[in-house]
A and B are shown apart, each in its own frame.
Chain A
Amino acid sequence: MRRRHFLSLSAESVGGLLIYSLQRTPLRAQSQSGTIRVPLKFFTEKQALLLAAAAARIFPSDDTGPGANEAGVVLYIDRQLASAYGRDRFRYTAEPFLDGPPELGHQGPLTPRQIYSEGLAQLEGIDTLSPEDADAKLRSIERTPFFSLLRQHTIEGMFCDPMHGGNIDKIGWQLIGFPGPRMSYFSEVDSYYGKPFRPRPESLSEILGRPVTPSEDEEPA
């Protein structure tokens, strides 16, 4: 049995937002001070802090709006890696693993979990660096498969349906004006030419009025 790890989020950064706990029950961060402890499924607390620091440099919180921290990108990645995806559920993994030209895609034997564990080890200390130094550290690994996975997962965690753990309170969708799933655009499709149509985003379970099971919870762990 793995020791329980938690990620402590500053209540200030997530104040008033709806976070889904790992049991998928909504947890509203009401207080404006102190910390909120979210249990982790795959990472250790130390790894989660390194990851949070890296993701926050890829998709920073700045004057253009919230970023990876507020959206809970770490929680998204933690859940994905804890699920079958982390063990390569979505890859053909028969041997032999041989190198090939880039057009044949990633051929290595490492699972996403292994890629993260190795990659995060290279980011040791990034959570204590200044933004400039953290960026320099990330630039030094920019061409690795780990970094491209991390960048991709950061975007995914910003804009996934909140049931997957990221995009807390649809903060990523609000940022880009994406309505989320919606039953119909029949009248809007040709009546908003050149004008933004920006309804308040809703998640899948909100429009359906019932919970939906994401694939990471379906597969036996």
Chain B
Amino acid sequence: MRTLKPVDVVIVGGGWTGLLMAKELSADSARSIVVLERGPARKTADYIDDMDELDYAIRLRMMQDIRHETVTVRHTVQDRALPVRQYGSFLPGTGTGGGGEHWSGISYRYLPQSFKIASHLRERYGAARLPEDHALQDWPVTFDELEPFYWQAEQLLGLSGKAGNLRGKRQPGGNIFEGPRSHEYPTPPMKRPYLAELFHQAATKLGYHPHPLPAATNSQSYRNPDGILRSGCVYCGYCERYGCMIGAKAQPTNTLLPVLNRRRNFTLRNGCWVRRVVVESGKARGVTYIDVSGEEVFQPAEMVMLASWSINNTRLLLLSKIGEPYNPATGKGQIGRNLTHQVSLPAAMAFFPQPLNRFIGAGSAGVAIADFDADFLDHSDLGFQGGGIIYTVCYGFRPMANFGVVPTSVKSTWGSDWKKAALHHYDRTGRISFYGEHHSYRSHYMDLDPTYKDKYGDPLIRMTIDWTDNERRMGAHMSVKAAEIARAMGATEITPHPGLRRYDATRYQSTHIQGGVIMGDSPENSAINSYHQLWQTPNLFVLGASAWPQNPSVNPTLTALALTHRAAHAIRTRSLL
């Protein structure tokens, strides 16, 4: 195997966390940085051709090629895991920018109490109320410690929204349940598409606290602290699963890459598939990868960073035999534990008498209420813990995936009667959705599959995951609430979600898979510290949501960026090594 010239830092994965870390560390021009990205190069100009539903939203042109690598799934350790043969519940990104190119951009902060969830629930309800096999754990970092880094990440993205809590003062129109912010959002809220307007009015009437979804699809043009100027969103609706042709949606290629491309100490290599991290005597020495020509090479580095997204980070550690694989029977081992997948439901389908023009929108143009998040609802008689946000997002509904949904009063799914109903309801159907907490459990984890392999013959990740009664009851409760909102919005027929049963790998849920390499306050309860640094191998960092001990209700990326900022800051100022 050929050995390349050593560098200071090698980063595996050129998505949100990898390129942000590269931008922060390369600010110091003495440090050489190489990012290895297995997918193709991407740039804004590519996206002018992408407004095609079949190639992008259905054939998933921007996602990881499933022929080459997938995951296997089983519900319990007794089951035999089978491969996910066609993408379903999540969509891993590939290419420069990773999942950050075709994300929706909904960018909440986590709540202060989310960082202390285990102690909070124990204090409030007593240990006995927690599910028997839970693996909940406090984060090793608090909201207050993270706040300045949230603000940095929000400026990076130019986030649009409305503060609900400015330095402790409630702000009407914002999310009054959020933790205190030091600053108002960088840009004002997005416009409200019609369905969002109906939701806003109905939620207000019902006494809830509707607020605009915090949006990385910016409401107006914005220049960030790096000097990057991006234009405002035009609500084209080809957003979630697509790259933005005008750069209005913050993506790694339009916020980070322009800065990085000016730095001579930074190199991005596309088409490079990393297979192993090499560790010798407690120190990471570099990584081996198959380069774009098919040759396997060794890239030595002083510091190694995994930024390949939660599942891939976990897999690379397991394949490299770094750390102890988690064993659910004994509870021993840190790598692979606390796998969670955000609960995400179409809580109610609402059928309206009037047209909605629902092809108009953006990935994060919408309105939400947090009145049922965390502990803001009274759980005494509910039979579950936790909660989440009820929202509607007008992401731009396209016909191939959305045509044909009809109320339950229509009995057929094809033929004349169905066609007539489907034509009538096509632009009169709205979705009220729910994002909920997913607690961690001792029986939910990742390890290497004994049977199925990737294109290089390396074992796939095996996910052992299922819903428990906590998520099922939460989902059922929230569907009732969502249906009430739909009624207040003027829907004449409503189909509530039928209820969560088993974890379903075929239905798109969200690409918010967490855990595997979690952070904690000691090597006994975690794989990494709050700076994403492996306890046993301090020059190896594992970035992103693989670090989450459990899943707070809302989307993870803003927190992943804030924690990356914080780790970069510590590396630059405190020399963690």
Q: Chain A interface (Cβ within 8 Å of chain B)?
A: 57-60, 62, 64-65, 67, 85, 89-94, 96, 98, 100-107, 135, 138, 151, 154-156, 158-161, 163-164, 172-173, 175-179, 181-186, 188-190, 192-197, 204, 207-208, 212, 214-215
Provide a sorted-by-A list of 10 A–B residue pairs whose CB atoms are within 8 angstroms: A60-B415, A98-B80, A103-B506, A104-B505, A155-B403, A158-B399, A158-B403, A183-B234, A193-B194, A204-B51
| CB proximity of B294 to chain A, nearest CB, Å | 18
CA distance A208 to B505 in the complex (A): 37
The reply to whether the CB of B123 lies closer than 8 angstroms to some CB of chain A is no
A184 touches B234 (CB 8 A): yes
Known: A85-B59, A155-B404, A188-B357. A106 touches B423 (CB 8 A): no
The one of A100, A184, A214 in contact with B55, judged by C-beta atoms closer than 8 angstroms, is A214
CA distance A164 to B90 in the complex (A): 26
The stretch that binds A, out of B109-117, B151-159, B235-243, is B235-243
B403 touches A177 (CB 8 A): no
B419 touches A155 (CB 8 A): no
| CB proximity of B163 to chain A, nearest CB, Å | 22
**B235-272 interface with A by 8 A CB criterion:** 235-238
The reply to whether the CB of B83 lies closer than 8 angstroms to some CB of chain A is yes
Known: A175-B423, A185-B234. A104 touches B194 (CB 8 A): no
Interface of A is mostly: loop
The one of A163, A176, A192 in contact with B426, judged by C-beta atoms closer than 8 angstroms, is A176
The reply to whether the CB of B414 lies closer than 8 angstroms to some CB of chain A is yes
Known: A89-B67, A197-B360. A105 touches B419 (CB 8 A): no
Interface of B is mostly: loop
Contacts of B132 in A (CB 8 A): none
Known: A94-B453, A181-B238. A64 touches B423 (CB 8 A): yes
**B61-79 interface with A by 8 A CB criterion:** 61, 66-67, 69-70, 73, 75
Given A60-B415, A214-B55, 11 additional A-B pairs, CB 8 A: A57-B414, A105-B84, A106-B85, A159-B53, A164-B54, A176-B423, A181-B51, A181-B52, A185-B360, A190-B193, A196-B427
Contacts of A214 in B (CB 8 A): 52, 54-55
B54 touches A101 (CB 8 A): no
A65 touches B403 (CB 8 A): no
| CB proximity of B192 to chain A, nearest CB, Å | 6
B58 touches A156 (CB 8 A): yes
B403 touches A64 (CB 8 A): no
A176 touches B197 (CB 8 A): no
The reply to whether the CB of B208 lies closer than 8 angstroms to some CB of chain A is no
The one of B52, B191, B415, B419 in contact with A161, judged by C-beta atoms closer than 8 angstroms, is B52
CA distance A172 to B404 in the complex (A): 13
Which 7 A-B pairs give the minimum distances between C-beta atoms? A181-B51, A184-B234, A159-B399, A100-B82, A185-B360, A196-B355, A92-B70
The chain B residue sitting closest to A181, CB to CB, is: B51
A58 touches B415 (CB 8 A): yes
The one of A59, A62, A158, A194 in contact with B354, judged by C-beta atoms closer than 8 angstroms, is A194
| CB proximity of B123 to chain A, nearest CB, Å | 36
CA distance A53 to B505 in the complex (A): 33
Chain B interface residue bracket vs A: 35 or more
A104 touches B84 (CB 8 A): yes
Known: A60-B415, A92-B85, A185-B237. A176 touches B403 (CB 8 A): yes
Known: A185-B236, A185-B237. A155 touches B400 (CB 8 A): yes
CA distance A96 to B452 in the complex (A): 8
Contacts of B415 in A (CB 8 A): 57-58, 60, 135
B360 touches A215 (CB 8 A): no
Interface centre among B414, B502, B503 (most CB of A within 10 A): B414
Contacts of B52 in A (CB 8 A): 161, 163, 181, 204, 212, 214
**B373-397 interface with A by 8 A CB criterion:** none
Contacts of B525 in A (CB 8 A): none
A59 touches B414 (CB 8 A): yes
B67 touches A93 (CB 8 A): yes
CA distance A58 to B54 in the complex (A): 20
| CB proximity of A32 to chain B, nearest CB, Å | 26
CA distance A160 to B398 in the complex (A): 10
The reply to whether the CB of B31 lies closer than 8 angstroms to some CB of chain A is no
The reply to whether the CB of B221 lies closer than 8 angstroms to some CB of chain A is no
| CB proximity of A91 to chain B, nearest CB, Å | 5
The chain B residue sitting closest to A188, CB to CB, is: B360
| CB proximity of B236 to chain A, nearest CB, Å | 6
CA distance A158 to B404 in the complex (A): 11
The one of B61, B426, B427 in contact with A215, judged by C-beta atoms closer than 8 angstroms, is B61
| CB proximity of A59 to chain B, nearest CB, Å | 6
CA distance A89 to B192 in the complex (A): 39
CA distance A115 to B257 in the complex (A): 44
The reply to whether the CB of B48 lies closer than 8 angstroms to some CB of chain A is yes
CA distance A33 to B114 in the complex (A): 70
